[in-house]
Copies of this chain bind each other. A is one copy, B any other.
Amino acid sequence: MSQIRRIVTAMPENSETPLDDLHGWNTPTNRFFVRNHFAVPCIDLTTWQLTITGCVANPMQWTYEKLIEAPERSLFATIECAGNGRSFLQPRAAGVQWGAGAVANAEWTGIPLHLLLKQAGLRPEAVELLFQGADYGREDGHPHTMHFARSLPLGKAMHPDTLLATHMNGEPLQPNHGFPLRLLVPGWYGVANVKWLHRIEVLNHPFHGYFQSTKYTVADPSSTRRHIVRGGLIKSEILGPGPGRLLVPGPVRISGLAWSGEKPVALVEVSTDGGRQFSPATLIGPQAPYSWVMWEYHWEAARPGSYKLLSRAVSQDGMVQPREHETHYEGYQVHYSRAVTVVVQASSP
């Protein structure tokens, strides 16, 4: 039987999508990975409000009723957790030990953020927007109780595809996906897509909160600075055949997914000899901005033996999926080509 989600940690819920059991491009909501830092907050819609404060001409409160009557927009976007694939790293990196499945694709519907910001009237000194979730608690190694909070630069916040999402796959958000409202930042790692969003503050200075400047940052190899995890990197996964699969000589369909943050995937290549030679795969199924693409490659497995399969994706802006983990990313942005070893046995006599 197929698994709905694989639980990685139970409290708070961190669970991932069993990628090898996907049929189709759009991930059903009950299979969409969950990455939560604190317990799911209790929301009372009768008193719930979204507030917009800070460097604005008109501070505002929006009720849920008013939000869902606003002009809405729908788009598909793949969201990947910045720590996805962490469990494959050697040596082990700190953090939730995700397999390959903290990534999924869904349709998101909501009001474009820039329409609200126009009504609020950004003042000229605005440089960033801070998004606060209703979820709060304590993180190991940090002394204070805090809300989950992240900021966006003005440019991405004002992009017409950045949404205050009320619906996921045509239904109101589920509680573990941020009901009643989450930020949808297409092409960026999941951490930017603040769930249970209830407060937006327009800042005249950069934000340096725990989830912005301590967690979810990567080293800069050429300086002592650290960078914030932002747009997604080029990546592909082989979904079939699975690791260790026994095959017989003959045609083998190698299939998988590829995604690339804000830019489309241009090309996926497949190697059946551990990365010496690569041949282009065929992109199949639906294609849309910000969304993963399915691919397949027909391999003629001629001789018995052990084979190391690899996929390698290239984005339309020329990013190439690396062969090894970039170690300065530590436990984040794990996007190297991970080999799948299969065994071709002699045909049955």
Contact = CB atoms under 8 A, between A and B. Distances in A.
B107 A73 contact: no
B23 A166 contact: yes
B286 A31 contact: no
Contacts of A333: none
Contacts of A249: none
Interface string A159-202: 00000001101111000000000000000000000000000000
A272 to B, nearest CB: 17
B25 A107 contact: yes
A253 B286 CA distance: 30
Interface string A35-76: 000000000000000000000000000000000100111111
Q: How large is the interface on A (under 10, 10 to 19, 20 to 34, 35 or more residues)?
A: 20 to 34
Interface string A232-253: 0000000000000000000001
A24 B170 contact: yes
Nearest to A105: B170
A224 to B, nearest CB: 44
Given A76-B286, A107-B286, A288-B286, A253 B25 contact: no
Contacts of A25: 74, 107, 170
A74 B294 contact: yes
How many copies of this kind of chain does the complex include?
Answer: 2
Contacts of A75: 285-286
A1 to B, nearest CB: 11
Contact of A74 (B71, B73, B170, B286): B286
Contacts of A74: 23-25, 284-286, 294
A254 B209 CA distance: 42
A7 to B, nearest CB: 20
Interface of A: 22-28, 31, 68, 71-76, 107-109, 166-167, 169-172, 253, 255, 284-286, 288, 294, 296
18 contacts: A23-B74, A23-B109, A23-B166, A23-B167, A23-B171, A23-B172, A24-B107, A24-B169, A25-B107, A26-B26, A71-B253, A71-B255, A74-B286, A74-B294, A75-B285, A107-B286, A286-B288, A288-B288
